[in-house]
Amino acid sequence: MPRNPYGSLNTIEYIGARPQKAKRNFFGGWVILVIALVMALMFGRPLLASLKSEQVTGTEAAADEIIQRLNESVAPGDKMAVAALTLSKSSESTKATSTADLIIKSYRMGLGLDIKELLYEDMSNAFSQYPQLWYERAANKEVDSTRVQNIQRFFHRSGEDFKNSDAMVGDVVFWTLPDGNAHAGIVVPGPGVHREEKWIIHNWQNVVVWENKLKDFTMVLGSYRFGH
């Protein structure tokens, strides 16, 4: 076989079908894209909801703005919200020290009602109708009002229970926590861009906080509008 000038064998001619480029499967690509979008919606929406729920707690500046707006209202629920928001930014000397204390002080400041006295009167007249959890034999004004379960029972006997309805500003909502303890919060508007949402003022770990937690506690005992 003759050699070319470069001293190598001549190129052998290729005989056969011309190679074809692989065709792109657009249908398969769209299917993958649709599946990805569905997965994002399924798992992304709960994540966004969780982030939104944990997004912020109210600030003192936001509380001042809502207090100023609600001060123009004569609605009992708005007055309760003003009292609760005020307590959320109170100084050490006036802050609510427990869940029960928060409710009592909010009613006293907002509606001029003495829950401690009213509870004692009702328990004195119907002691057997209240939770028998502490081996008490009679009503005790100084102790009974410190127990959230007693306050909830008093509202159940004396107020309106809207447990199966949407909570309104000024409502007091009671829950049973997973550990069995009773808890409560006062419904207030959310801050800033959340003003159309329902948030709560509640005492959590000995601190009064304003949070987007109304629907985080699921074991609802009752939602009351006592004194409205």
92-107 pLDDT, tens per residue? 556 788 999 999 999 9
Q: Do 37 and 131 reside in the same domain of the chain? A: no
Residue 14 forms part of a structural domain: no
Rounded to whole angstroms, the Cα distance separating 85 from 95 reads: 11
Structure token digits, residue 102: 């928060």
Q: Give strand pairing partners of 3.
A: 9
Residue 119 forms part of a structural domain: yes
Q: Is the pLDDT score of 161 beyond 90?
A: no
Among residues 39, 54, 69, the one where a domain terminates is 54
Residue 2 forms part of a structural domain: no
pLDDT on residue 96: 84
pLDDT class for 219, splitting at 50, 70, 90?
very high
Rounded to whole angstroms, the Cα distance separating 143 from 140 reads: 6
List the beta strands (DSSP E) in 39-180: 172-176
Q: Is the pLDDT score of 90 beyond 90?
A: no
Q: Is the pLDDT score of 149 beyond 90?
A: yes
Per cent of the chain over pLDDT 70 is 74
pLDDT on residue 95: 78
pLDDT on residue 51: 40
Q: What is the mean pLDDT of residues 222-226?
A: 92
**Which amino acid, residue 51?**
L
Residue 20 forms part of a structural domain: no
Rg of the Cα atoms in the chain = 32
pLDDT on residue 206: 86
Residue 100 parent element (H or E) = helix 99-111
Residue 79 forms part of a structural domain: yes
- Please give the tally of structural domains in the chain: 2
Among residues 8, 34, 54, the one where a domain terminates is 54
Structural domain of residue 48, as residue ranges?
25-54
Q: Do 41 and 91 reside in the same domain of the chain? A: no
Q: What is the mean pLDDT of residues 172-187?
A: 95
Per-residue model confidence as pLDDT tens digits over 106-129 = 999 999 999 999 999 999 999 999
Per-residue model confidence as pLDDT tens digits over 197-217 = 999 999 998 889 999 999 999
Residue 155 forms part of a structural domain: yes
Q: State the distance between the two ends of the chain, measured CA to CA, in whole angstroms.
A: 110
Among residues 5, 37, 54, the one where a domain terminates is 54
Q: Do 126 and 33 reside in the same domain of the chain? A: no
Q: Is the pLDDT score of 143 beyond 60?
A: yes
Per-residue model confidence as pLDDT tens digits over 38-55 = 565 555 444 444 444 444
Percent helix, strand and coil across the chain, each to the nearest 5? 45, 15, 45
Residue-averaged pLDDT of the chain: 83
Q: Do 32 and 139 reside in the same domain of the chain? A: no
pLDDT on residue 160: 83
Q: Do 86 and 46 reside in the same domain of the chain? A: no
Per-residue model confidence as pLDDT tens digits over 12-47 = 554 555 655 555 554 556 666 666 665 655 554 444
Backbone φ and ψ for 25, nearest 5 degrees, come out as: -95, 90
Q: Do 144 and 83 reside in the same domain of the chain? A: yes
List, as own/partner pairs, every contact residues 31-34 make where C-beta atoms lie below 8 angstroms and the sequence separation is at least 24, other chains included: none
